[in-house]
Structure 1
Amino acid sequence: NSMWIEGIDRDESDTILEQLFEIIEQPTNYYEHVWRPGDLVMWDNLACLHARTDWPDTQSRELRRCTTLGEALD
């Protein structure tokens, strides 16, 4: 979580962060995946924020990381 923006007045920082949070918390900016067997979801960690919803304790969860080198695709 972001607390403030370094290098600017705290009140201005709070105002900017509030505006940014309002934008990113709009439902039109969300993608929520409904999992089915065999699904694979990929995202760019540098270009998006991600989180997960609650996960049942009775189900296993496996995460794998793959890092690639190269130029961004247009």
Structure 2
Amino acid sequence: MFLAQYHEAREPEGYHQLPEVLKLWWLNSLAFADPAYDQRAEDAARGVGEVVPMEQAIPDWEKRLAQMRRS
């Protein structure tokens, strides 16, 4: 999946997305490396555990959401 997104972002029309693709995959790698990841993912799927609103977790969430809706 990473390679597909990476190659797509390297195309001329998607080149501006390359930094975002790399940043998201870097963040994923940090999450997957956390020994508690599996338990947290299971808790999230069951709707238990700590909940952080998107606006708090991603400070510019509203801006990103608006950009995605315009695309």
Q: TM-score, normalised by structure 2?
A: 0.32
* Higher-Rg member (1/2): 1
The structure with the greater share of residues assigned to helix is 2
